[in-house]
Amino acid sequence: MPAREGNWRGSIRIVRSEKVITGPYMDDSMIAALFDAAAKVRQQAHAPYSGFAVGAALRADDGQIYTGCNVENAAYPSGTCAEQGAISAMVAAGARRIEAIAVLGDGTRPVTPCGACRQRISEFATATTMIVAANLAGTQTRFTCAELLPDSFRADLLPNGKRG
């Protein structure tokens, strides 16, 4: 099944919003910009095996938006997730903090990050960093990082206390 080309421009229906989260990068216009970027990069996904194309876009503390798509491999475990690509792009550019991240896929419900990506996001996020999942139907679900990965393993659990 080929990846569905994105005409993702629909209105958003928020079905769940756990908390009021304030911050300069958390407004609806920023989330919309993230989903525009996620929809665009999703069209570049390499998903010939699952046919499930995913796009991710994050806003970093340098004010830039970084994107990634899933990149599958004939050796299945060698494939990478969209969120992973976006985080790698952010780190390569020198940024280290995710302000918000959006994930978009053609699911029957909003496409949330897999377990490994929740940990990857956590490395560069705070407990209240917004993670927004959506599907092509325009249904959107907003979470905080702590909601998707409660009691996560973090750098302060390491013997030396902090990274670096």
| Closer residue to Zn ion (CB): 57 or 81 | 81
* 83 in catalytic set: yes
Regarding 38 and contact with Zn ion (CB under 5 A), the answer is: no
Taking each helix axis from N to C terminus, what angle separates 82-93 and 28-42, rounded to the nearest 10 degrees? 110
Residues 95-124 that bind Zn ion (CB under 5 A): 114, 117
End-to-end, the C-alpha distance of the chain in Å comes to: 44
Regarding 69 and contact with Zn ion (CB under 5 A), the answer is: no
CB of 115 to Zn ion, least distance (A): 8
Look-up of token digits 């390499």: 46
Report how many residues bind Zn ion under the rule CB under 5 A.
3
Tokens of 149: 């990965």
Task: Find the DSSP H helices in 1-159.
Answer: 28-42, 82-93, 115-123, 145-148
Catalytic residue annotation: 83
Site residues (CB under 5 A) for Zn ion? Answer: 81, 114, 117
